[in-house]
Amino acid sequence: MPANDFTTAEYARRLQKTRAAMAARGLKTLVICDPSNMAWLTGYDGWSFYVPQAVILHEEGMPLWWGRTQDKPGAALTTWLEADCLFDWPEEHVQHPDHHPFDSLLTLLRDRGWTEAVGVEMDNYYYSARSHQILEVGLGREALGDATGLVNWQRAVKSEQELQLMRSAGRLSAHMHAVLRAEFHEGIAKNALVARVQAAGIEGLPDLPGDYAAIAPIAPSGIEASASHITWNDRPLAQGEATYFEISGCVRRYHCPISRTLFLGSPPEDIRRGEAAILQAIEDTFAVAKPGVTCEEVAACVYDSFGRAGYIKGNRTGYPVGLSYPPDWGERTMSLRPGDTTKLEENMTFHLMPGLWTPDWGMAITETFVVTPQGGVALADVPREIVVKSR
């Protein structure tokens, strides 16, 4: 059954790009365990990545989907692959101490004669050490090559339909932030506020239902915001604290993350100074982010703006985003930071993260943008300034 998000011609183009990258690395077969890459190549969608699964791409022929027996109907429903391209492993191997699903995958590779120049995503959340050990023992270490990021890099430049999905996700992000601005007030428990924002993203808009995002809302307040990845608790919002929310609408697994900062009371001078530096950094970045410019040149816009304001930023300031599954909506390829000389291309998409963290507070005002010949263009329309409320 054809995957309904894209045409089969689009999937053929993706296979061609991936096979060209395989050939450049001397690989004949890919074992792809990253669910984002599985979806990008076949359309497969399901909450099944907690057990071993893969798309297997040989240098010739159709890809194969391989996964748990009870997830095979999901592969038939969501991919464009025919039934003879769908394979499953024994149910009794689910989290079994003595048997492993990759024993079945090893048999499948041997039956096909795909036992040489096999690429695996070694540095990936979804490919375990046990899985690799089974392939290494069964095929030999020399038969395996590290294909980490190979498919991810093919996803970097988005098609127009992918951009449309990300813009739709941006509409949901804007809707979620509008609910946040309306509901944010002194005394509301953080979990209650997060629940309303999450509900808005999932219920969506009348013409646009929402999906689950790959990352839970990041929502620290006060000194908690000095740490960059704290989610939420049940503490009521209080006067004199900055709170930032990093959230994303999600449509068909495509994301558009946006962070905004809110403050109860009157923001002190140092927070206002940080806000000005961040807002200027975004404008400077968008002016520079054109095809041919390097990631580190884009990142310099943020570091320079922070430096002029008297702040030092010690972490990267952006990364590519798009199609993804938990635990991360990033694509795990480029980074906007010093030393990354990757050149931007038209229709690449990034989450620009000029976050600022001090020992006493933190703030984040971020944008997801697309690279165009005119510079970076935001994929969502959300007011950037700190939201200030007296109560």
The pLDDT assigned to 319 comes to 98
Cα–Cα dist 77/72, whole Å: 9
For the chain, the straight-line distance linking the first and the last C-alpha, in angstroms and rounded, comes to: 54
Alpha helices in 141-249 (DSSP H): 150-154, 160-183, 190-203
Q: What local confidence, expressed as pLDDT, does residue 1 receive?
A: 47
Are residues 267 and 365 in contact, defined by beta-carbon separation less than 8 angstroms?
Answer: no
* pLDDT for the residue numbered 5: 83
Buried b (16+ CB within 10 A) or exposed e, 106-139: bebbeeeebbebbbbbeebebbeeebbebbeebb
Rounded to whole angstroms, the Cα distance separating 31 from 58 reads 9
Q: 194 vs 120, 183, 200, CA distance in Å? A: 38, 10, 10
Helix (H) or strand (E) holding 388: strand 387-389
Which residue do the tokens 């506020």 mark? 193
Write down the pLDDT at residue 391: 78
Q: Which residues of 314-342 are buried (b: 16+ CB within 10 A; e: fewer)?
A: eebbbbbbbbbbeeebbbbbbbbbeebeb
Helices (H), the chain: 8-24, 35-42, 72-78, 101-112, 129-139, 150-154, 160-183, 190-203, 269-288, 295-308
Mean pLDDT of each 10-residue bin along the chain, 391 residues long: 80 98 98 98 97 98 97 96 96 87 97 98 96 98 98 98 98 98 96 98 97 97 92 95 96 98 96 96 98 98 95 93 97 98 98 93 96 98 96 78
Length of the chain in residues, anyone? Answer: 391
Burial of residue 17, with CB atoms counted within 10 A of its CB: 0-12 exposed, 13-18 middle, 19 or more buried: middle
Q: The tokens of 120 are what?
A: 């695996």
Question: Using an 8 Å Cβ cutoff, are 318 and 352 in contact?
Answer: yes
Cα distance between residue 149 and residue 59, in whole Å? 18
Residue 379 near residue 258 (C-beta atoms within 8 A): no
User: Which token pair is 78?
Assistant: 């969501």
Question: Distance (Å, rounded) from C-alpha 156 to C-alpha 349?
Answer: 7
Could you tell me if 6 and 160 are in contact, meaning their C-beta atoms sit under 8 angstroms apart?
Answer: no
Determine the Cα–Cα distance for residues 222 and 212; give it in Å rounded to an integer. 27
- Cβ-in-10-Å burial (0-12, 13-18, 19+) of 368 comes to buried
Q: How far is CA 323 from CA 5, 6, 125, 256, 368, in A?
A: 12, 13, 16, 10, 13
76 contact partners, CB below 8 Å, separation of at least 6: 1, 83, 86
Cβ atoms of residues 149 and 332 within 8 Å: yes
Please provide residue 89's backbone torsions phi and psi, each rounded to the nearest 5 degrees. Answer: -115, 160
